[in-house]
Homo-oligomer: A and B are copies of this chain.
Amino acid sequence: MVTQQYKDMLQGKSVIRQLSEFATARGAEIGYENVFDYSLGNPSVPVPQKFTDVMIDMLKNRNPMELHGYSQSQGIPSVRQKHAEYLNKRFGMDYTGEHLFMATGAAGAIAHAVRLVSQPGDEILTFAPYFPEYGPYINLTGAKLKVVPANTVDFQINFDAFEEMLTEKVAAVLINTPNNPSGVVYSTETIKKLAAIMEAKQKEYGHDIFLISDEPYREIVFAGVDAPYPSKYYDNSISCYSYSKSLSLPGERIGYLAVNPKATDAALMSAMSAQISRGIGHNCPPSIIQLAVTEVLGETADLSVYETNMNLLYNELTSLGLEIVKPGGTFYMIPKAPGKDAKEFSEKAKKYDLIIVPCDSFALPGYVRLAYCIDTEKVERSLEAWRKLMKNEY
């Protein structure tokens, strides 16, 4: 019989999707260039030309049987090896190819990591505000996502609440830094304190508690911001990466998980991930894309536009009286909604063709998210709309 569980999931349409569809519909009326669509976290700068050149070169010159052939489930061995070397050089780690598993984006990496280190019924902690897709990623494994309330002072971690919630049932802690939606980057101090608490609790409970670190925005960090590599500070850690944002390749589904060589069963985890893949028919990320991203290791799209946009918006919006914790990276920021009702604020903003997302589904009521991955020229034109919104409505 048709499975009710997935049928039920069709009911809830995400607020982000609804607002994005509104923006598209409004664009059809007045021209999309006149809609200041801050709804979707889609990269707005093209993939580096070098990636395209590498793809074309491989298509022209490599043996198609090898180029398009099966990859090992864990990923192509040379691809994993080169990733390990790159990460070691950059972050002073000791990965080998055996610690790497090529995944279909950070989403695939997280879903595998959760299955690697938890049983159905276990709890996984994350911190508000958080990316709502963590819900299905985790809950469909049978584990339970629990959300630690936000530290709204600076969107680092609310450690009091964290310590209270870090019970014996917790198998893993999932962090996302630089953070979607706050744009905040966890400081070295934050990561060290998090690690110390987790170490102590591991000892107290006598079992592993894993740190799963979701890092798709790793490369989008603004000037002067301290952006530590979390796995450097905690042994039982799995780093989940995606090329979706750094190379502007969201549709090609390519990323990896890197298991800390000091973690429990570190040498087995990538191979175990391949076993998880068997149960979901994943097999491997596309071979040609694995090979191509490896040829451009260390390159990024021109990400500077995001910092330009952030500064424009942060300066104008704070001068208009909005409260914002200044982002350290990503292409998001979360002003506090005046009047504290984010849905109402989002509705009012629509009148000025400003499309912003209430953060209720990010477990942070009273705030709105701006995804400022749009052309700077449009950000500039939107400032007048922001001024009108704030003048007329508040």
Q: What is A's interface to B at a CB cutoff of 8 Å?
A: 1-3, 6-7, 9-10, 42-44, 46-47, 52, 55-56, 59-60, 63-65, 67-71, 103-112, 115-119, 133, 136-137, 139-141, 171, 207-208, 248-254, 264-265, 268-269, 271-273, 275-276, 278-289
Contacts and interface: CB of A to CB of B under 8 A. Distances in A.
A133 B278 contact: yes
Contact of A279 (B46, B63, B136, B269): B136
B250 A281 contact: no
B44 A64 contact: no
A251 B68 contact: yes
Q: How many copies does the complex hold?
A: 2
Contacts of A109: 281
A46 B64 contact: yes
B60 A43 contact: no
Nearest to A139: B279
Most chain B beta-carbon contacts within 10 A, residue among A2, A59, A276, A278:
A2
Most chain B beta-carbon contacts within 10 A, residue among A137, A251, A264:
A251
Nearest to A64: B46
B282 A108 contact: yes
A295 to B, nearest CB: 14
A7 B251 contact: no
A113 to B, nearest CB: 10
A106 B281 CA distance: 8
Given A52-B60, A136-B275, 9 more contacts: A6-B275, A46-B63, A56-B56, A56-B59, A104-B283, A111-B279, A141-B279, A251-B288, A253-B286
